[in-house]
Amino acid sequence: MISKKVILTGSFGVGKTSIFNQFLFQKFSDKYLTTIGVKVNKKTVEAKGQEVSLLVWDIAGEVTQDKVPTSYFLGASGIIYVMDLSRPLTFEKLDSDIAYLEELLPGAAIKIVGNKKDLLSKEELLEAQQNISKKLDAITSAKTGENIPDLFLNLAEELV
């Protein structure tokens, strides 16, 4: 079995913990509880005929925030960078955050995710996508679970 560390990161309130809980436990809560530090759990998926144990880290706060130790990122093979499609403010640091992550973890697979699809109309979703400087790897709804399993499976396949 292959084991890979995956980091969920992005601005506060974008749904990282909800994605974490939906992927690992198929659960969603409307209650917002800020993550303090880091939550870690693992789940095994099958990718390209191999079992892959994903050690998923849900990291609090901002990517480059001083309160998030760089050590949380070390050893990660995959990064899921999450934005809130209903809050354009969460798109603003995308380029600098991705550049920082690429420098910190050269060679790591990075998936850029727009979350909270369920909060937008089709028109609002198109507008949000036009305002994001990079191509999204996935558009998800942690509330409904839409595209969450595929997001992690695609990442696992890239890591094998």
Total count of domains within the chain:
1
Q: Cα–Cα distance between 20 and 17 in angstroms, integer?
A: 5
Query: DSSP of the chain, one letter per residue?
Result: -EEEEEEEEESTTSSHHHHHHHHHHS---S------SEEEEEEEEEETTEEEEEEEEEE-S-SS-TTS-GGGTTT-SEEEEEEETT-GGGGTTHHHHHHHHHHHSTT-EEEEEEE-GGGS-HHHHHHHHHT-SS--SEE-BTTTTBTHHHHHHHHHHHH-
pTM to 2 decimal places: 0.92
**What tens digit of pLDDT does each residue of 45-55 get?**
999 999 999 99
Residue 65 predicted with pLDDT over 60: no
The CATH number linked to 47 is: 3.40.50.300
Q: Supply the pLDDT for residue 20.
A: 97
Helix axes 148-159, 16-25, angle to 10 degrees: 80
**What tens digit of pLDDT does each residue of 85-142 get?**
999 999 999 999 999 999 999 999 999 999 999 999 999 999 999 999 899 999 999 9
Classify the C-alpha dihedral 124-18-114-86 as positive or negative. positive
Q: 137 is in which domain, residue-wise?
A: 2-159
Q: Cα–Cα distance between 3 and 159 in angstroms, integer?
A: 10
